[in-house]
Structures are given as structure tokens and as C-alpha cells.
């Protein structure tokens, strides 16, 4: 087997091994999981998630996922906790402790301190019979038969299992809270993801010029309007209502079929009943319309009146496309 084949075989085995372990997690779910979700949902406090080593890294990701889906969460490193960071934990907080073995020295010191403070504790562990498993109020079983590491040492499959348990918690809580795309946008205002959830057509079209001609405008006036407004298109309007559209393509087709254009008007070359969108629609809706009809511009309306143009380039600029 050559080097490339060997690498691909190892990668495939790793993915298959972790996939099987994740599938097995569904069989390990008990009432403890449902009760833990309800505990967090009904809590007046936050979720404090702690761990050490690779489990601590997984804990930070679960914290981020919970915070972004409506459940306030804070990360507390297990080693730092026993050196002063226990002050993070408030009376109403729920603590989630993550540990594959459940028997690390830091965990054995930390767990009794949490118990003494009367905070409810959820364990995510691969060993239900461990010190952590025995002391926790709820145990979420993250058992894996073997790590993907050929030496069965480096945390690989086990940390994947912990991550999946955390995602399952977050999604269950999201569902209980009725967390919507609008809520998601509130917590993700930055980047292309946030923009897809809150950016409206008017936010884009208002930045563009507003090309428009009347039905009887000459071809020269049409060309000047399209050129000056730099969007490759103009609306044809009648009493502020959209009646047609003329694009660069329409002008080229006209020139290829007409020998005398001096007598032509906008009405003669426009396309009637063009695709349009309301200014209050989401920008992502404009993207979908453009993709569906294979066009690069949409005319925008406000209360039935012509309001401007949204262009494919606007969506690209904002990261929507």
C-alpha cells in the first residue's frame, strides 16, 4: 500500500470508528438526560461547565453553543476552580462536569466542593461507576469502547462523544425555548450568518441609485439612465408603478435586430411584468429569487410603488451569496 492509500485508509477508519461510537450514544440515553435538560431549562441561574485537559476544550465549545442558542453558560477550568474560580458559581447555577474517566485528581477535589455548595451537578463521563459518576445528580453516559488513536490513548473518539452530548443538550433546550431564527439573529449579528437572518432588501437597495424611465422615453434616454445609474438595468414606471424593465441585454438585442432605433421608446423594448420583491423582504429571499430565475437584478417595491434595485453584487458584497 502506498503512502496516500495508507493515509486515506487511516482517515477512513478514524471516521468510521467515531461514527459508530456516536451512533452508540443514542442507546446510552436514559431518563437522566431528559431530567438534566428540564433542570437546566427551569433553572433561574446559568450553566457552569467545567473539565480539564481535552475535556476542558470541549467544555468551552459547549458553552459557546449554549450561549448562542439562548442558554446562558460560563466555562470554568477544573484546575483553576480549586484555586479561586469557584467564586464563579452562584446559588442558582447548574454545574456540568466533563471527564472521560471521572477519576482525575482535580475532579476528585472539585466535585465535593460543588456538592457542599448545594448546586445541582450533571456529569458527562465515559465511566458511570467513577467518582464523578457516583457523585453527580445526573449522569450523561459518554462511553466509548476505544479511542480512534491506535494506541487507545489520545482523546479522540471520547471527546467527540462529549461534544455530541453537549450538542444534544443545546438542541433540546433550544426546542424547549422555542428558539427561532429571529432569536438566532439576535445572538449572531455579525458575519454572513447574521446577515442572512436580519439583512433586508431595503438595506441593500437604499445604497444603490434608482434608475427609472417612463414608457415614452427615447432609447437615448434609456441608455443614458442605465449608464449613469451603473446597475445594468432600469425600471420602466408609470405613475410610480413598475410596468417593465430594460437591461443591458435588452439593449444589445435591440441593436442586433433593429436597423433604425431613433423612433423606438422604452415601451417598445422593455420586458413586461418583471420579477420584483418587496423592500421589507429578507435579502436571502432576493438571493433565492435570483437563483431560481437566473437573473442578476430585482426591482424593489414599497407599498406597490417602485423603490429601487437590488443587484447580485450587493448580495456578494454582504456575504449573502
| CATH code for position 254 | 3.10.580.10
Residues 16 and 98 in one domain: yes
Q: Which residues contact 184 (CB under 8 A, 6 or more apart)?
A: 68, 69, 197
Element (H, E) at 267: helix 266-269
Residues 160 and 234 in one domain: no
Among 179, 213, 234, the domain-final residue is 179
Q: Tell me how far apart the alpha carbons of residues 249 and 187 are, in angstroms, rounded to a whole number.
A: 42
The C-alpha cell that represents 149 in the structure block: 488513536
Q: Tell me how far apart the alpha carbons of residues 278 and 268 are, in angstroms, rounded to a whole number.
A: 26
Least Cα distance to 241 among 308, 310, 305, 301 occurs for: 305
Residues 208 and 173 in one domain: no
Residue entry with cell 432569536: 183
Give the alpha-carbon dihedral of 253, 258, 261, 266, to 10 degrees: -40
Sign of CA dihedral 138, 140, 145, 150: negative
Residues 172 and 209 in one domain: no
Residue entry with cell 487511516: 10
pLDDT at 259: 77
The C-alpha cell that represents 187 in the structure block: 445572538
DSSP state of 282: B
Indicate yes or no: pTM above 0.85.
no
φ/ψ (deg, to 5) at 74: -135, 140
Residue entry with cell 478514524: 14
Residues 132 and 280 in one domain: no
**Structural domain contains residue 188:** no
| CATH code for position 99 | 3.40.50.10490
Residues 152 and 204 in one domain: no
Enumerate the H helices of 117-190 as residue ranges. 131-135, 157-177, 181-187
Q: Tell me how far apart the alpha carbons of residues 25 and 162 are, in angstroms, rounded to a whole number.
A: 10
Least Cα distance to 13 among 148, 147, 146, 160 occurs for: 148
The C-alpha cell that represents 228 in the structure block: 449613469
The C-alpha cell that represents 230 in the structure block: 451603473
Q: Tens-of-pLDDT digits for all 321 residues of the chain?
A: 579 999 999 999 999 999 999 999 999 999 999 999 999 999 999 999 999 999 999 999 999 999 989 999 999 999 999 888 899 999 999 999 999 999 999 999 999 999 999 999 999 999 999 999 999 999 999 999 999 988 888 899 999 999 999 999 999 999 999 987 767 766 666 665 666 767 899 999 999 999 999 999 999 999 999 999 999 999 999 999 999 999 988 888 888 887 778 888 999 999 998 999 999 998 889 999 999 999 999 999 999 999 999 999 998 888 877
pLDDT at 185: 65
The C-alpha cell that represents 261 in the structure block: 432605433
pLDDT at 2: 76
Q: Which residues contact 296 (CB under 8 A, 6 or more apart)?
A: 232, 290, 311, 312, 313
The count of domains in the chain is 2
pLDDT at 7: 93
Residues 152 and 31 in one domain: yes
**Structural domain contains residue 52:** yes
Residues 89 and 211 in one domain: no
Among 148, 179, 210, the domain-final residue is 179
Q: Tell me how far apart the alpha carbons of residues 122 and 217 are, in angstroms, rounded to a whole number.
A: 73
Residues 161 and 236 in one domain: no
**Strands 276-278 and 121-125: what pairing?**
unpaired
The parent domain of residue 275 ranges over 198-317
Residues 130 and 212 in one domain: no
**Strands 94-99 and 121-125: what pairing?**
parallel
Amino acid at each position: 500500500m502506498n503512502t496516500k492509500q495508507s493515509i486515506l485508509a487511516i482517515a477512513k477508519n478514524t471516521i468510521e470508528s467515531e461514527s459508530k461510537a456516536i451512533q452508540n450514544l443514542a442507546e446510552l440515553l436514559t431518563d437522566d438526560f431528559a431530567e438534566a435538560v428540564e433542570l437546566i431549562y427551569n433553572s433561574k441561574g446559568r450553566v457552569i461547565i467545567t473539565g480539564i485537559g481535552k475535556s476542558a476544550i470541549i467544555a468551552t465549545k459547549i458553552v459557546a453553543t449554549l450561549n448562542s442558542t439562548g442558554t446562558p453558560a460560563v466555562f470554568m477550568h477544573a484546575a483553576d476552580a480549586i484555586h479561586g474560580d469557584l467564586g464563579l458559581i452562584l446559588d442558582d447555577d447548574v454545574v456540568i462536569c466533563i471527564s472521560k474517566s471521572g477519576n482525575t485528581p482535580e475532579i476528585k477535589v472539585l466535585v465535593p466542593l460543588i456538592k457542599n455548595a448545594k448546586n445541582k451537578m450533571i456529569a458527562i463521563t465515559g465511566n458511570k461507576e467513577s467518582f464523578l459518576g457516583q457523585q453527580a445528580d445526573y449522569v450523561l453516559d459518554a462511553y466509548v469502547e476505544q479511542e480512534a488513536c491506535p494506541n487507545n490513548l489520545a482523546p479522540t473518539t471520547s471527546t467527540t462523544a462529549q461534544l455530541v452530548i453537549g450538542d444534544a443538550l443545546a438542541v433540546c433546550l433550544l426546542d424547549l425555548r422555542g428558539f427561532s431564527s429571529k432569536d438566532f439573529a439576535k445572538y449572531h449579528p455579525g458575519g454572513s450568518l447574521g446577515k442572512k437572518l436580519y439583512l433586508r432588501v431595503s438595506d441593500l437597495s437604499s445604497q444603490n441609485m434608482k434608475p427609472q424611465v417612463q414608457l415614452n422615453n427615447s432609447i437615448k434616454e434609456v441608455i443614458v439612465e442605465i449608464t449613469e445609474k451603473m446597475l445594468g438595468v432600469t425600471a420602466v414606471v408609470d405613475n410610480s408603478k413598475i410596468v417593465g424593465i430594460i437591461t443591458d441585454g435588452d439593449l444589445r438585442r435591440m441593436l442586433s435586430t433593429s436597423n433604425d432605433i431613433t423612433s423606438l421608446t422604452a415601451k417598445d423594448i422593455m420586458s413586461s411584468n418583471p420579477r420584483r420583491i418587496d423592500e421589507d423582504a429578507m435579502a436571502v429571499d432576493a438571493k433565492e429569487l435570483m437563483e431560481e430565475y437566473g437573473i442578476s437584478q430585482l426591482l424593489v417595491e414599497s407599498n406597490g410603488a417602485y423603490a429601487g434595485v437590488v443587484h447580485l453584487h450587493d448580495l456578494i458584497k454582504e456575504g449573502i451569496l
